[in-house]
Amino acid sequence: MVSMRPHGFCDGAHARLAGLLLGVVAVMVPILVVSAGGAIGQPADEATTTTTAVVTADSDLPLTDQTPVVAEPPLPDPSPRIRVSLARIAVMGAQASLAEQQTSAAKSRDDQARAQAASDRAAQVRTAAERRLDRARDQLRSTAVYAYMHTPGIDVVSALRGDSTAGGQERRLFAAAVDHHQQQFTDAQDTLERARDDLDASRQALDRAQQAAADQDLVVASASSALADTQAESRIATAGEGRAAGSTSWQLSLAGPSVFSADELAQWYDAQGHGSRASVPIADVARSYIDHGNAEGIRGDMAFAQAIHETGWFANNDTITANNFAGIGHCDSCPAGFPFATADIGVLVQIQLLKSYAETDPTYNLPRAAPNVNGPRGCCQTWTELGGVWATDPNYGPLILGYYNDMLEWLVAQRSTET
């Protein structure tokens, strides 16, 4: 379990009182105070201002020094700008989706038209085969009747069956004629049977094509509605951006999908020119954040932004020696945070810890990477609320969201050039 001190717990006299109280509690329950981030662009363990959050764990690690944190003026909340960028990205995605579905709908209509034409041709072939069969039947009947009337003693039934065993040259000639028309009749029957089969098959294909076209029209309607919704959200977000600071109630949730792909995330990071001292290429780190975030329903791209703040662009000692990108277990008096076997595991621990903050009864979709590392369940549904909880710095939310805002502005420009 993880318990968190209230916001501003380490300010002024409260910090000194907190130190005494925590000293007493530490005798009964080992408590780990986790360092959670340093100054922007600076490794967490080298930052000039320390922000802390309390995490209980099965460990006898020492308490952090209860040094009072000097209060800093509140930073501007980038949430309104983030909302606008997310709305613009959503509009671009909805527009691309609608265009794709419209293209698919046009193809479905073309397929339906081809199926209709094939069905029409099959119907014409069947009609022609029926007429041919009727002519063959009439010819066979006429020949048999003529033979019966002009050839004494001929058995018309045998003639119709093509029996030419009866004697006499004339009978053999009529029998040959009957055989010929009988074959024409049989061929016409076979042709008609194939035409009927082809018509049935073409009508079934037409039914499928019509259903596919109807289904695709529904998808287009849904995509059109989704675009209208994103456009409405964009208008609301743009209007909210112009309001006075602090007047908006919108905040970015911890839960949600990443808007970056793994490739886009790595591309953005490389463009910043900071490099990385992680144990694996930054492209692999980015993919871990996107994949694990999507699997657990946590914004992996935003967690990546949090990691940049915590590690000073993946450069601090926790990054190098512990595959720890979120200051997990890194208290003021601890030489390092909790070590994790691989960078991928370190990312998953951060994602699952965030999920334990966001949900009161979290259910994990991936095996727990560190079952004993848990947050105060349900304490924080938004990234802004992490200030004073994940970290004691009240500006923690605006700081990490600032990175994400820059990332989103780059993504808007990037996708705008691709359309």
Q: Is 1 helix (H, G, I), strand (E, B) or coil?
A: coil
- State pLDDT tens for residues 189-221: 888 889 899 889 999 999 999 999 999 999 999
Lowest mean pLDDT among 33-42, 285-294, 295-304: 33-42
**Residue among 301, 225, 247, 234 nearest 83 (CA):** 234
Mean pLDDT of all residues in the chain? 80
Q: What is the pLDDT of residue 52?
A: 36
H-helix segments, 50-168: 79-150, 156-160
Tokens of 120: 């029409």
In the predicted model, is pLDDT for residue 366 greater than 60? Answer: yes
Instruction: Give residue 24's pLDDT band: very low, low, confident or very high (50, 70, 90).
Output: very low
| pLDDT of 304 | 98
The pLDDT of residue 126 is 85
Mean pLDDT of 131-148: 77
In the prediction, which pLDDT does 64 show? 36
pLDDT at 28 over 60: no
Residues 6+ apart with CB under 8 A from 157: none
Rounded Cα distance, 210 and 138, in Å: 40
Contact 282/270 with Cβ under 8 angstroms?
yes
Mean pLDDT in residue range 51-63 = 38
pLDDT single digits (tens) 245-261: 555 589 999 999 999 99
The residue among 399, 393, 401, 325 whose CA lies nearest residue 51 is 393
Question: How many Å apart are CA 330 and CA 163, to the nearest integer?
Answer: 104
As a whole number, mean pLDDT of residues 143-151 equals: 67
**Pair 53, 389: CB distance under 8 Å:** yes
Residue with tokens 């006075």: 244
- Cα dihedral across residues 130, 132, 137, 142: positive or negative: positive
- Among residues 300, 311, 291, the alpha carbon closest in space to that of 383 is found at 300
Domain 92-241 has CATH 1.10.287.620: yes
Q: What is the pLDDT of residues 339-354, one digit of tens each?
A: 999 999 999 999 999 9
Residues of each domain in the chain carrying CATH 1.10.287.620: 92-241
pLDDT at 386: 94
User: Which residues, in sequence order, are bridge partners of residue 408?
Assistant: none
Look at the block and give the residue holding tokens 């600076």. 42
* Cα–Cα distance list, 188 to 121, 122, 245, 314 (Å): 18, 16, 85, 81
Is the per-residue pLDDT at 147 higher than 70? Answer: no
Lowest-pLDDT choice from 168-182, 192-206, 306-320, 349-363: 168-182
Share of the chain above pLDDT 90, in %: 57
Of these ranges, 167-181, 241-255, 266-280, 381-395, the one predicted with the greatest mean pLDDT is 266-280
Whether 304 and 326 have beta carbons less than 8 Å apart is answered as: no
In degrees to the nearest 10, what's the CA dihedral of 170, 171, 176, 181? 110
pLDDT at 388: 87
Rounded to a whole number of angstroms, the distance between the first and last alpha carbons of the chain is: 47
Q: Are 241 and 80 in contact (CB under 8 A)?
A: yes
What is the DSSP code string of 390-414?
Answer: TBS-TTHHHHHHHHHHHHHHHHHHH
pLDDT higher than threshold 90 for residue 18: no
Q: In the numeric block, which tokens belong to residue 377?
A: 């369940």
pLDDT of 156: 55
Q: What mean pLDDT is predicted for residues 10-22? A: 32
- The pLDDT of residue 65 is above 70: no
Q: What is the predicted pLDDT for the residue at 129?
A: 83
Instruction: Give the span between the Cα atoms of 240 and 331, in whole angstroms.
Output: 39
